[in-house]
Amino acid sequence: MPRYSRSYAGLCAPENLGSRSSAAFTFESLNEITAFITSGAGSTCGTAAASGNTPPTVSSPGPGFTVPRLTPFALTASGSDPDGNLIMYSWEEHDLGTASTGGLSAVTDDGSRPLFTAGTTGQSATRYFPDSNYILNYANTPPAYSGQYLVGQTLPSTSRTMMFMVTARDIRGGIASAQTQIYVNGTAGPFTVTSPNTAVTWTGGTQQTVTWNVNGTQALAANVSIQLSINCGSSYTVLSAATPNDGSEVVTVPAGTSATCARIKVEAVGSVWFDVSDANFTIVLPGPPPGAFGKSSPSDWASPVAFSPVLSWASASGAASYERILFSYCLTDP
Q: Domain locations in the chain?
A: 27-38+54-185, 192-284
Q: Which residues pair with 67 in a beta bridge?
A: 184
Residue range 42-50: average pLDDT?
85
pLDDT category of residue 82 using cuts at 50, 70 and 90: very high
pLDDT tops 60 at residue 334 = no
pLDDT at 18: 78
- Tell which CATH classification among 3.40.50.620, 3.40.50.720, 2.60.40.10, 2.60.450.10 matches the domain 192-284: 2.60.40.10
Contact 89, 166 (CB under 8 A): yes
Residue range 264-272: average pLDDT?
98
Higher pLDDT, 15 or 160: 160
Residue range 161-188: average pLDDT?
96
pLDDT category of residue 317 using cuts at 50, 70 and 90: low
* 143 prior amide bond cis, ω within 30: no
pLDDT category of residue 4 using cuts at 50, 70 and 90: very low
Q: What does the pLDDT look like over 183-234, one tens digit per residue?
A: 999 999 999 999 999 999 999 999 999 999 999 999 999 999 999 999 999 9
Contact 280, 263 (CB under 8 A): yes
Q: Do domains 27-38+54-185 and 192-284 have the same CATH topology?
A: yes
| Long-range CB pairs of 208-211, under 8 A, 24+ apart, other chains included | 208/250, 208/251, 208/252, 208/253, 209/248, 209/249, 209/250, 209/251, 210/248, 210/249, 210/250, 210/251, 210/264, 210/266, 211/247, 211/248
Domain 27-38+54-185: CATH superfamily is: Immunoglobulins (2.60.40.10)
